[in-house]
Amino acid sequence: MADQPIYKRVLLKLSGEALMGAKGYGIDGAVVDRIATEVVEAYRLGVEIGIVVGGGNIFRGVSVAAEGGDRTTGDHLGMLATVMNSLTIRSAIAARGVPSEVLSAVAMPTVCDTFTQRGADAAFAAKKVVVFAGGTGNPFFTTDSGAALRAAEMNCDALLKGTQVDGIYSADPKKDPTATRYETLTHQEVLSRGLAVMDAAAIALARDNRIPVIVFSIHESGSFVDVLLGRGRATIVTP
């Protein structure tokens, strides 16, 4: 176990559903506050942190397509939902005295700056927590793919995915009590076994850029910092 963080710069991927807490929709302020507190704790350990948050607590583009609607429009609505979540996260972090900035792949200059790699580099250099909104800015790509893309662009040491469970399992452990939990996997094993922790494009992008993917439970208090210190319960996916 490490006394100091084992990663210098990380990308934290949060699902929109993680922000709902016990609610069936929207944002649970208590959950946002807890996550922001952990991000600030990690920041004060010297870790550079980028965050990508999904929008499924507000809107899921794939649900439009499933009902026979236009997938492109649905995905655009989902991107707007990620901006709402990102602004919420940024505000909670800033309220704790840590500078934070939202950069959106979808231009929304009234509410946040537009993502460029130069702008993100400048934000990290200014010691800000950087929240990447708007996914990749394109339909038909998930926010998991957006997280892998930003992790690669920003030369992150690891991509940490906060999920509903404490790692990767052979099946959904909430539905199948016999599901096997993995401590370690390779990117190729995740792909070949069809393990649904992230979409295939995201895993392939992480593999091609040799970025470890660490899957942990965002619902366990202190789990984010524990993983950064090398002592958390998680599944580690390596090249």
pLDDT digits (tens, 9 = 90+) for 151-177: 999 999 999 999 989 999 999 998 999
Grouping H, G, I as helix, E, B as strand and the rest as coil, residue 136 is coil
Domains and their CATH numbers in the chain: 9-238 (3.40.1160.10)
**67-112 confidence digits (pLDDT tens):** 777 889 999 999 999 999 999 999 999 999 999 999 999 999 999 9
- Report pLDDT for 68: 76
Say if residue 1's pLDDT is above 60.
no
pLDDT confidence of residue 59: 87
> Among residues 110, 183, 114, which one has the least CA distance to residue 101?
114
Is residue 25 scored above 70 in pLDDT? yes
Residue 66: per-residue pLDDT: 67
Q: Is 96 exposed, middle or buried (0-12, 13-18, 19+ CB in 10 A)?
A: middle
> pTM, whole model, 2 decimals?
0.95
Query: What is the structure's pLDDT at 3?
Result: 79
Are 154 and 9 contacting, i.e. CB atoms less than 8 angstroms apart? yes
Reduced to 3 states (helix: H, G, I; strand: E, B; else coil), residue 82 is helix
pLDDT higher than 90, residue 211: yes
